[in-house]
């Protein structure tokens, strides 16, 4: 039910033609900006392993913004825009499940954006993915674990959003922005100063993006030293472990935030921002 | 269904901590203090009080949206703070004066979605939706997107949402706020019909419309500044004033005549003043009718002309004035000042 509601909201805000145009133009524009920047900095060296590294990292990073903020944004949407959060709260439903359901729609629209970005890269930008050599099992296993992990991180952010009446809309964006830097999305972690790298090593998104790249274009990932000493299985283990850790923490943080929000009377507090 | 009481509160209190610009300016606002109420199953219970009296805070606690800071409350036999999961399937709530709902969904979709959260079978939900929309006179808008509805119709849709799940206890927070006179009448009629259909249904209604409380409620609690001042049947509350003779007097500008000056007269038991375009309107209570001559004399001394004078039966507004010392409008303007 929540997923259906999310989909109606995500897909019906404009007419179908504009929605289709928006769905294509937005991810392609985002990728184009990155490609142009890369082209200028590398002086047009698109054969370097760095290019698919950046391109794939950027393409899959769309899921981080979509799924994670999709879950937490449902709190802002229902509380501020539709003024229905209090009615959801007094209904006999499991609120975390409802919020996760609302994130499903963003996962679907995010998947469309990822697919379009990848297709544009393969068709027009010489991003070489040899489909015969793709490790599909690893790819789909990683994708599923990652999406679940991002949804649980979204639940954590939803809890914080619940407690934050002002500036709540920026929590998701700020977190997604921070993860963009520390997850090796567009540059390997070893580019960062040594004292900042542990942040990246603690982020499940780092291992998730690495595994996605390895499953699609193994040689590209091998060209960078950050996680080169780890096997696919080891990284999958780390990703699963960190996902379980973050997922458990998210559930407890959400419960705590929920109880604080009830204590402070924040569940139906609106700011008209 | 074991408890005969639909709602029960004991020493219920709520204090809000207000955050100022600096830590040292942090204040506390007592929204509810020592509220003891019992509402029996099948009752239409009214909470009557001015804006800011604590009515909405009480509803929020009873609907599990807000934790109390002291005391306890039970709804349908379950503690709202300790067992919110037991309370929620048995209640619903509608807040008036707001246009909540998903604008992209049609009226039917909005209502159907909420019915599904309560586990109402889809076919039954659709039948109920049609019947309820018929009752509130908006069946022809069933396929209209809720963003295309007027504020009044959107509020009616929300009222239907509250009734749709057939709750044991329904909370209506100012349900007619902002509605035009015709829509208000429709909603009041609808509330009474809904209650009549099942004697086990309980409804708690907050309002600051005296007439509404008087017309609808079996019992009324008058609440002001977080405290329940009186709680009884409207007729019993009004009876306490029957010993007074009540007059409504329209006069020219008051020329310095104050409420206190009138209350200083030994025969005047209560006095409330509201300004009008041409002067003022006074509601006064006298120990006996014959004392009216001395009040008129006071007007003459202040060169205040009487333009209209009528004797009337006591209302809940008079009860409020009797309990608080001011009219509800005065109380609200005093709070907002």
pLDDT, tens digit (0-9, with 9 covering 90-100), for A201-247: 899 999 999 999 999 987 666 677 777 788 889 999 999 999 999 99
Q: Which of residues 37-76 of B touch A (CB under 8 A)?
A: 57, 60, 63-67
Looking at the structure, do residues B15 and B81 belong to the same domain, yes or no? yes
Q: Is residue B127 part of a domain?
A: yes
Same-domain status, B144 and B63? yes
Enclosing H/E stretch for A264: helix A232-264
Under the banding of pLDDT at 50, 70 and 90, the label for residue A137 is: very high
Buried b (16+ CB within 10 A) or exposed e, A229-240: ebebeebbebbb
In this prediction, residue B99 carries a pLDDT of 75
State whether B184 and B268 are in the same domain.
Answer: no
Nearest Cα of chain A lies from the Cα of B110 at a distance, in angstroms, of 9
Give the H or E element holding residue B308: strand B306-312
Domain boundary among B216, B238, B260: B238
Cα torsion A149, A150, A153, A154: sign: negative
Does B100 sit within 8 Å of A83, measured CB to CB? yes
What does the pLDDT read at residue B270? 84
Full residue range of the structural domain in which residue B290 is found: 243-313
Complex ipTM value: 0.80
Q: What angle do CA B4, B6, B7 make, to 5 degrees?
A: 120
Q: Does residue B144 sit in the same domain as residue B208?
A: yes
User: Which pLDDT tens digit goes with each residue over A140-160?
Assistant: 999 999 999 999 999 999 999
pLDDT of residue A273: 55
B146 and B273 part of one domain: no
CA atoms within 13 A on the CB side of A41: 10
Backbone dihedral region for residue A155 (phi beyond 0: left; psi -120 to 50: alpha; all else: beta):
alpha
Cβ of B118 under 8 Å from any chain A Cβ? yes
Asked if B21 is an interface residue toward chain A (Cβ–Cβ < 8 A), one would say no
**To the nearest whole angstrom, how far is the Cα of A252 from the nearest Cα of chain B?**
18
Specify if B337 maps to a domain. Answer: no
**Stretch A161-168: mean pLDDT, rounded?**
76
Contact A89 B114 (CB under 8 A): no
- What is the rounded radius of gyration, in angstroms, for the C-alpha atoms of chain A? 19
* Domain-embedded: residue B331: no
Nearest residue of chain B to residue A268 (CA atoms): B65
Residues of A within 8 A of B169 (CB-CB) are none
**pLDDT per residue of chain B (337 residues) written in tens, 0 to 9:** 456 799 999 999 999 887 766 556 678 889 999 999 999 999 999 999 888 889 999 999 999 999 999 999 999 999 999 999 999 999 999 988 777 888 888 999 999 999 999 999 999 999 999 999 988 888 899 999 988 998 888 888 999 999 999 999 999 998 888 778 888 888 888 888 888 888 889 999 998 888 888 888 999 999 999 999 999 998 888 877 777 788 889 999 988 888 888 888 888 888 888 888 888 999 888 888 888 888 888 888 889 999 999 887 788 888 888 888 777 777 767 665 5
DSSP labels, B19-60: --SSGGG-EEEEEEEEEEEEEETT-EEEEE--TTSSHHHHHH
Assign residue B163 the CATH number of its domain: 3.40.50.300
Q: Do B102 and A90 touch (CB under 8 A)?
A: no
Q: Do A89 and B93 touch (CB under 8 A)?
A: no
Residue B51 lies in a domain: yes
Q: Could you say which of B60, B98, B114 has the minimum Cβ distance to residue A265?
A: B60
Question: How many domains is chain B built from?
Answer: 2
Question: pTM score, two decimals?
Answer: 0.81
- Is B319 a domain residue? no
Residue B188 lies in a domain: yes
Tens digits of residue pLDDT in A35-90: 888 778 877 777 777 888 888 888 898 898 888 888 888 898 888 888 899 999 99
In this predicted model, what pLDDT tens digit does every residue of A80-122 receive, in sequence order? Answer: 888 899 999 999 999 999 999 888 888 888 898 899 888 888 8
B160 shares a domain with B175: yes
Question: Cβ–Cβ of A265/B102 closer than 8 Å?
Answer: no
């Amino acid at each position: 039910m929540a997923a259906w509601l999310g989909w109606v909201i995500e897909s019906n805000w404009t007419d179908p033609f504009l929605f289709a145009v928006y769905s294509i133009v937005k991810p392609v524009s985002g990728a184009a900006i990155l490609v142009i920047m890369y082209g200028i900095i590398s002086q047009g060296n698109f054969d370097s392993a760095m290019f698919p590294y950046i391109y794939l990292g950027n393409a899959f990073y769309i899921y981080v913004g979509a799924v994670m903020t999709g879950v937490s944004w449902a709190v802002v949407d229902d509380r501020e825009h539709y003024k229905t959060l209090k009615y959801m709260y007094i209904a006999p439903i499991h609120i975390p499940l409802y919020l996760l359901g609302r994130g499903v729609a963003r996962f679907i629209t995010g998947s469309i954006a990822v697919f379009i970005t990848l297709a544009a890269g393969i068709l027009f930008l010489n991003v070489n993915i040899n489909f015969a050599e793709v490790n599909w099992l690893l790819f789909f296993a990683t994708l599923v674990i990652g999406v679940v992990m991002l949804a649980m991180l979204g639940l954590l952010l939803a809890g914080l959003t619940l407690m934050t009446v002002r500036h709540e809309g920026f929590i998701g964006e700020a977190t997604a922005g921070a993860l963009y830097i520390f997850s090796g999305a567009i540059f390997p972690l070893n580019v960062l100063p040594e004292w900042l790298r542990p942040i990246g090593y603690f982020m499940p998104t780092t291992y998730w993006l690495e595994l996605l790249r390895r499953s699609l274009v193994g040689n590209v990932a091998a060209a960078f030293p950050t996680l080169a000493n780890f096997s696919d299985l080891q990284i999958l283990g780390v990703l699963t472990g960190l996902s379980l850790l973050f997922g458990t923490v998210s559930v407890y943080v959400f419960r705590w935030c929920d109880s604080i929000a009830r204590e402070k009377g924040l569940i139906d507090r609106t700011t008209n921002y | 269904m074991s408890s005969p009481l639909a709602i029960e509160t004991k020493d219920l209190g709520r204090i809000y901590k207000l955050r100022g610009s600096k830590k040292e300016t942090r204040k506390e606002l007592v929204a509810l203090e020592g509220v003891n109420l019992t509402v029996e199953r099948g009752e239409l219970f009214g909470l009557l009080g001015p804006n800011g009296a604590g009515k909405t805070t009480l509803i929020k606690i009873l609907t599990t949206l807000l934790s109390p800071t002291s005391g306890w409350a039970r709804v349908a036999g379950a503690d709202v703070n300790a067992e919110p999961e037991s309370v929620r399937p048995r209640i619903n709530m509608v807040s008036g004066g707001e246009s909540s709902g998903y604008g992209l969904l049609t009226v039917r979709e909005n209502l159907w979605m909420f019915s599904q959260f309560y586990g109402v079978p889809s076919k039954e939900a659709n039948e109920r939706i049609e019947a309820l929309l018929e009752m509130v006179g908006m069946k022809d808008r069933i396929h209209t997107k809720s963003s295309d509805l007027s504020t009044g119709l959107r509020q009616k849709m929300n009222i239907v949402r509250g009734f749709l799940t057939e709750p044991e206890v329904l909370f209506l927070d100012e349900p007619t706020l902002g509605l035009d006179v015709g829509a208000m009448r429709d909603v009041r009629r609808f509330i009474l019909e809904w209650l009549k259909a099942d004697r086990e249904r309980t409804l708690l209604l907050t309002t600051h419309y005296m007439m509404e409380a008087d017309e609808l409620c079996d019992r009324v609690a008058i609440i002001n500044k977080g405290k329940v001042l009186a709680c009884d049947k409207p007729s019993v509350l009004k009876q306490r004033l029957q010993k007074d003779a009540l007059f409504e007097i329209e006069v020219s500008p008051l020329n310095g005549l104050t409420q206190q000056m009138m209350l200083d007269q030994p025969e005047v038991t209560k006095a409330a003043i509201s300004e009008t375009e041409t002067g003022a309107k006074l509601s006064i209570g006298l120990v006996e009718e014959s004392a009216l001559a001395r009040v008129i004399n006071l007007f003459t001394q202040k060169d205040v002309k009487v333009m209209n004078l009528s004797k009337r039966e006591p209302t809940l507004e008079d009860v409020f004035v009797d309990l608080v010392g001011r009219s509800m409008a005065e109380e609200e303007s005093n709070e907002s000042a």
